[in-house]
Amino acid sequence: MQTTLGPVLYFWPRQDVFDFYEKIARSDIDRVCLGEVTCSKRRDLNYGDWLAIARLLTDAGKKVILSTLTLLESESELSQVRKICDNHEFMVEANDMSAVKFLSSNGFEFCTGPSLNIYNAYTLKQLYKLGLKRWVLPLELSEQKLGSILEQAEELSLNDKIETEVFSYGYMPLAYSARCFTARVNDKGKDECDFICRKVPQGVPLATQEGEQLFTLNGIQTMSGHCMNILDRWQAMEKLGVHSMRLSAHSHDVLDIADGLTRSIRNGKAFVSELSAEQCNGYWEGGSGKDQIYRRP
């Protein structure tokens, strides 16, 4: 079992991003996905900056993947994605079919992120023919659903050809829109957003009128109100055939969590991580994504 750090989904100040990845370089995380995937207006780091971080992490022994924008609306965004897909140095994670198109046309192998809709092995087969090496299970699928997909993959003789990753920790990106909700709740238009999302590095929590935590606003993205945490399932995942667990950072706490998990994996021991009030176990146990279900590892 490997650990993957997903791309930072929030808009963090430039220096904070560099500081964060310097710490990641010294962490036990195996793989790191890099790049802006949420909003194309966030350009504090340019392509060259991301490459510099990618090389720093590679030198520290990490496997680095460049991750692409999720929702594309304009031709300039398409060019941004194309530039990343044309790079010869790092593997790319496609978060939209446009990236799959560019990468497959280049003859490059690629990974897919959680926003690519892969709900069955027949879809995996199509993407495998185009160069897919590793995929991330869509967030809304459970352990049981993953089991069915992998069973179907075996029937299609795909199991030893493709690696599977499961989003296992962090706030889940649930929806993407043309409009910016962080700007909206701060009474700003998207074009005059003043990059207000930089002032809320963990997004804007949204609660019901009864005070129940529901969603988190992160620019054009609506995320889960609770941080999902299924790290204690790592042994069950390994048994099922999962190759990597994805951690998504909302703060530097991800470093401690990653190092703890890696230690457990290396020692072949259960990882005890009890859910706090702000956490849920996502869709892994089935049912709704916001549930808190306790089950012994």
Partner 1 sequence: MELVCPAGNYPSLKAAVDNGADAVYIGFRDNTNARHFAGLNFTDQRALKALDYARNNNVRLFVAINTYAQADQWSRWQYAVDACADLQASALIAADMGVMAYACEKYPELPLHLSVQGSATNAAALALYHQQFNICRAVLPRVLSLKQVQALVKKSPVELEVFAFGSLCIMAEGRCLLSSYVTGESPNTAGACSPASAVRWEKTANGGMNTRLNGVLIDRFSANEQAGYPTLCKGRFKAQNMAHGNVHNKATHALEEPTSLNTLNLIPQLSDMGISAVKIEGRQRSPAYVAAVTRVWREALDAYKANKSDFQPEERWMAELSKLSEGSQTTLGAYSRPWQ
Given the rule CB under 8 A, which of 94-102, 248-256, 260-268, 270-278 is the region that contacts partner 1?
A: 94-102
Give Cα separations from 154 to 135, 151, 198, 288 (angstroms): 15, 5, 45, 28
Q: Does the annotation list 227 as a binding residue?
A: no
CB 215 within 8 A of CB 206: yes
CB 39 within 8 A of CB 180: yes
Given the rule CB under 8 A, which of 49-57, 216-224, 244-252, 254-262 is the region that contacts partner 1?
A: 216-224
Give Cα separations from 85 to 53, 69, 94, 175, 285 (angstroms): 17, 11, 9, 24, 35
Q: Does the annotation list 193 as a binding residue?
A: yes
Instruction: For 97, list phi and psi in degrees, rounded to 5.
Output: -65, -20
129-158 residues near partner 1, rule: CB under 8 A: 130, 138-141, 144-145, 148-149, 151-152
Q: Could you identify the residue written with the tokens 């892969």?
A: 118
234-273 residues near partner 1, rule: CB under 8 A: none
Residue 158 tokens read as: 């795909």
Instruction: For 13, list phi and psi in degrees, rounded to 5.
Output: -55, 150
Nearest CB to partner 1, comparing residues 220 and 255: 220
Using a 10 angstrom Cβ sphere, with 0-12 exposed, 13-18 middle and 19 or more buried, the burial of residue 42 is: middle
53-72 residues near partner 1, rule: CB under 8 A: 70-72
Site string for partner 1, 100-129 (x = CB under 8 A): xxx-x----------x-xxxxxxx-xxx--
Nearest CB to partner 1, comparing residues 53 and 69: 69
Residue 225 tokens read as: 């109100």
> Cα angle vertex 247, ends 89, 16, to 5°?
70
Nearest CB to partner 1, comparing residues 22 and 73: 73
Nearest CB to partner 1, comparing residues 18 and 176: 176
Q: Give the residue, chosen from 13, 14, 19, 185, that forms a contact with partner 1 under the rule CB under 8 A.
A: 185
Q: Give the residue, chosen from 74, 267, 277, 296, that forms a contact with partner 1 under the rule CB under 8 A.
A: 74
By CB under 8 A, is residue 96 in contact with partner 1?
Answer: yes
- CA dist 208 and 104 (Å) reads 44
Q: Give the residue, chosen from 15, 46, 209, 267, that forms a contact with partner 1 under the rule CB under 8 A.
A: 209
Q: Does the annotation list 85 as a binding residue?
A: no
Nearest distance in Å: CB 216, partner 1 = 10
Nearest distance in Å: CB 60, partner 1 = 33
From the list 3, 54, 12, the residue with the least C-alpha distance to 250 is 12
- Amino acid identity, position 236: A
Kindly determine how many residues on this chain lie close enough to bind partner 1 according to the rule CB under 8 A.
80
Please enumerate, by residue number, every residue annotated as part of a binding site for [4Fe-4S] cluster: 39, 180, 193, 197
Please enumerate, by residue number, every residue annotated as part of a binding site: 39, 180, 193, 197
